[in-house]
């Protein structure tokens, strides 16, 4: 993934902020309750300065120790009540925040699964994992607690200023001017902080992608003794993240230092101006105490609003990346007709042209037919586009032009789910989940009973090797089925396809990587699977397709010739040349 230049980032987009906050709309009733508690707590906090001012002045004038005791208990009571409200609000907000993160992660994951394959061709799994973990976590507070606390802090700030005006407008003027200068500085620094945070997230995604890739290829790393090389690559990548985070921390520290300096300046102004006022008789001691409390109350919201700016900058940077995924168009699924019911299908490719992004043409004016209920083999040199034909049939990719039909129906006009449900595939590299053997078999048809799953396993010769495991079908097979042999993995894939019961079967180099003994087991299972189905056999080894009803030779993006094995050999064309190269 290309890394963006932090110096070219756009300024804070408030539409993104609103979009983040809109995630909390389904919980608005709870948020309103939490907000009400927060506002009541803010009101109690604002009552403290006036309460303290009157109490101190009364004690000073009347020398009433009892009034001092009552004032102390009153302040304690107000504080405890405000704390109880804060606790209730925090619990409610936290629950909503965790719920939003859970639902957003699931929403993004679900959307990712519906994106076209072309999206994943240019992305790494580590980048996507970072989206689902780090980026979404950054959004949590801005979408929940910050919404509620913003109103509370704003009321405290405005209310504190009003109380300060009531106590002494001239002293308040000093405070407001200083606050205005500080907030302006926070806005300027916040823009820079957002750029750094976004760049750091991008770099972290890149690092996680590289590490995930290395761990996924750990056998290759060990085979070439590249542990130190990969570790050094990881360090260099993470060091870039470290440097960006250090820069970000410096800006955050600068904002914190400015806030601390501003707060200290406020206290000095109050002490200096208030002391002179008391000595001149224009201010009472109670007014000074009240003003000190006002400054304390104001400084809290001021710091929160300053850090809110930082969090918003950080969250919007993360949200931009998350919303980029959600804004990606899903696979085109505009069904105009339902799939025809029936048995084996007739499949035709007519005038199909296709090329991968920024690549050379793979198929050019490609004409090809899979006869219903027959076995059609597609052979040709490696990299010639044989597997691309299967991908186009699945609609993993869309052709540039031309027509692909099943029983006379355009595949682009069929519902994607119905189209893919009628096609089964046994690939060269079997794709298995890190789960039990039974779960991987059951994946072919989640509605199948255990008896149906076991029947498919027996038909694919899976039952023979499963009996050797202590846990049988409940045996965990590790990531990508690493604890199984190549032949065993292929038999699991065949059983999964049997359970799916597809009308069209694609065998993509299904036995090319197997030894003779494993191939015999797999071929026996494949023969059962192919019975009565429209079958496309993609092969590089010609020995595996000699019994096919039709063999088509793909060369330079077109079908060079087709026929039965003996016919093609007799023609002495491309097929015969390929046969001679292998002998």
Asked if 418 and 438 sit in the same domain, the reply is no
d(Cα 418, Cα 502) in Å, to the nearest integer?
11
Position 146 in a domain? yes
d(Cα 239, Cα 58) in Å, to the nearest integer?
62
Asked if 404 and 307 sit in the same domain, the reply is no
pTM equals 0.72
Q: What is the pLDDT of residues 382-404, one digit of tens each?
A: 888 899 999 999 999 999 999 99
Cα three-residue angle 136-140-146, rounded to 5 degrees: 145
Asked if 349 and 273 sit in the same domain, the reply is no
Asked if 225 and 118 sit in the same domain, the reply is yes
Averaged pLDDT of the chain: 83
Instruction: Pick out the chain residues at pLDDT < 70.
Output: 1-14, 125-126, 130, 141, 143-145, 147-148, 216-220, 223, 303, 306-307, 309-310, 511-519, 582-583
Q: CATH no. for residue 201?
A: 1.20.1560.10
Position 132 in a domain? yes
Distance of CA 545 to the CA centre of its chain: 42
Position 519 in a domain? no
Asked if 205 and 156 sit in the same domain, the reply is yes
Report pLDDT for 10: 47
Asked if 50 and 152 sit in the same domain, the reply is yes
Position 125 in a domain? yes
Task: State how far the alpha carbon of 542 is from the alpha carbons of 150, 366, 500, 578, in Å.
Answer: 71, 21, 28, 8
Asked if 252 and 393 sit in the same domain, the reply is no
Position 8 in a domain? no
Domain count, the chain: 3
Report pLDDT for 132: 77
Q: What is the pLDDT of residues 97-126, one digit of tens each?
A: 888 888 888 888 888 888 888 888 877 766
Task: State how far the alpha carbon of 291 is from the alpha carbons of 166, 264, 473, 478, in Å.
Answer: 10, 14, 74, 66
Q: CATH no. for residue 560?
A: 3.40.50.300
Asked if 311 and 456 sit in the same domain, the reply is no
Report pLDDT for 5: 39
Residues across the chain: 583
Report pLDDT for 218: 67
Asked if 30 and 79 sit in the same domain, the reply is yes
Position 196 in a domain? yes
Position 172 in a domain? yes
Q: Answer yes or no: are the C-beta atoms of 205 and 127 closer than 8 Å.
A: yes
Q: Answer yes or no: are the C-beta atoms of 404 and 410 closer than 8 Å.
A: yes
Report pLDDT for 346: 94
Asked if 233 and 359 sit in the same domain, the reply is no
Residue 433, domain extent: 429-501
Report pLDDT for 526: 80
Question: Quick one: three-class SS letters along 103-117?
Answer: HHHHHHHHHHHCCCH
For 540-557, letters b (16+ CB in 10 Å) and e give bebebbeebebbbbbbeb
Report pLDDT for 513: 56
Asked if 510 and 554 sit in the same domain, the reply is yes
Q: Phi first, then psi: give them for residue 374, nearest 5 degrees.
A: -110, 165
Position 75 in a domain? yes
Asked if 253 and 120 sit in the same domain, the reply is yes
d(Cα 132, Cα 118) in Å, to the nearest integer?
20
């Amino acid at each position: 993934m290309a890394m963006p230049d932090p110096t070219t980032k756009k300024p804070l987009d408030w539409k993104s902020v609103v979009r983040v906050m809109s995630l909390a709309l389904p919980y608005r009733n709870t948020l309103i309750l939490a907000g009400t508690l927060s506002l009541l707590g803010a009101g109690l906090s604002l009552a403290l300065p006036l309460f303290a001012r009157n109490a101190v002045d009364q004690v000073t004038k009347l020398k009433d120790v009892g009034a001092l005791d009552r004032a102390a208990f009153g302040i304690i009571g107000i504080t405890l009540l405000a704390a109880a409200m804060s606790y209730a609000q925090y619990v409610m907000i936290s629950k909503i925040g965790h719920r939003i993160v859970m639902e957003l992660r699931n929403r993004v994951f679900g959307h990712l699964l519906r994106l076209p394959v072309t999206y994943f061709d240019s992305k790494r799994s580590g980048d996507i994992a970072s989206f689902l973990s780090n980026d979404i976590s950054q959004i949590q507070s801005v979408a929940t607690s910050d919404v509620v606390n913003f109103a509370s802090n704003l009321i405290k700030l405005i209310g504190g200023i009003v109380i300060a005006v009531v106590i002494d407008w001239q002293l308040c003027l000093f405070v407001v001017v200083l606050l205005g200068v500080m907030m302006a500085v926070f806005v300027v620094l916040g823009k820079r902080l957002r750029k750094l945070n976004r760049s750091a997230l991008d770099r972290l995604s890149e690092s996680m992608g590289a590490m995930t890739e290395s761990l996924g290829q750990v056998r290759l790393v060990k085979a070439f003794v590249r542990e130190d090389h990969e570790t050094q690559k990881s360090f260099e990548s993470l060091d870039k993240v470290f440097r960006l985070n250090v820069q970000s921390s410096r800006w955050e520290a600068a904002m914190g230092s400015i806030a601390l300096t501003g707060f200290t300046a406020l206290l000095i102004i109050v002490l200096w101006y208030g002391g002179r006022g008391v000595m001149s008789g224009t201010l009472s001691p109670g007014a000074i105490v009240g003003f000190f409390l006002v400054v304390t109350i104001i400084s809290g919201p001021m710091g929160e609003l300053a850090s809110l700016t930082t969090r918003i900058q950080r969250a919007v940077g993360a949200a931009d990346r998350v919303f980029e995924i959600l804004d990606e168009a899903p696979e085109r699924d505009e069904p105009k007709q339902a799939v025809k019911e029936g048995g084996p299908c007739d499949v035709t490719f007519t005038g199909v042209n296709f090329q991968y992004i920024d690549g050379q043409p793979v198929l050019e004016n490609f004409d090809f037919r899979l006869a219903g209920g027959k076995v059609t083999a597609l052979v040709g040199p490696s990299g010639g586009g044989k597997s691309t034909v299967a991908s186009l049939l699945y609609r993993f990719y869309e052709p540039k032009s031309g027509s692909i039909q099943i029983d006379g129906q355009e595949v682009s006009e069929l519902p994607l789910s119905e189209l893919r449900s009628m096609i089964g595939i046994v690939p060269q590299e079997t794709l298995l989940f890190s789960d039990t053997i039974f779960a991987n078999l059951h994946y072919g048809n989640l509605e199948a009973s255990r008896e149906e799953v076991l029947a498919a396993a027996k038909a694919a010769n899976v039952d023979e090797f499963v009996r050797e495991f202590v846990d049988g079908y409940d045996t965990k097979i590790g990531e990508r089925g690493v604890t199984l042999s190549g032949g065993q993995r292929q038999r699991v894939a065949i059983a999964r396809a049997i359970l799916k019961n597809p009308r069209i079967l694609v065998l993509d180099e299904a036995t090319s990587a197997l030894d003779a003994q494993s191939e015999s087991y797999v071929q026996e299972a494949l023969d059962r699977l192919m019975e009565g189905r429209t079958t496309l056999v993609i092969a590089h080894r010609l020995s595996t397709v000699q019994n096919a009803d039709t063999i088509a030779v793909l060369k330079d993006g077109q079908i060079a010739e087709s026929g039965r094995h003996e016919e093609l050999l007799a023609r002495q064309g491309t097929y015969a040349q390929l046969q001679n190269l292998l002998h």
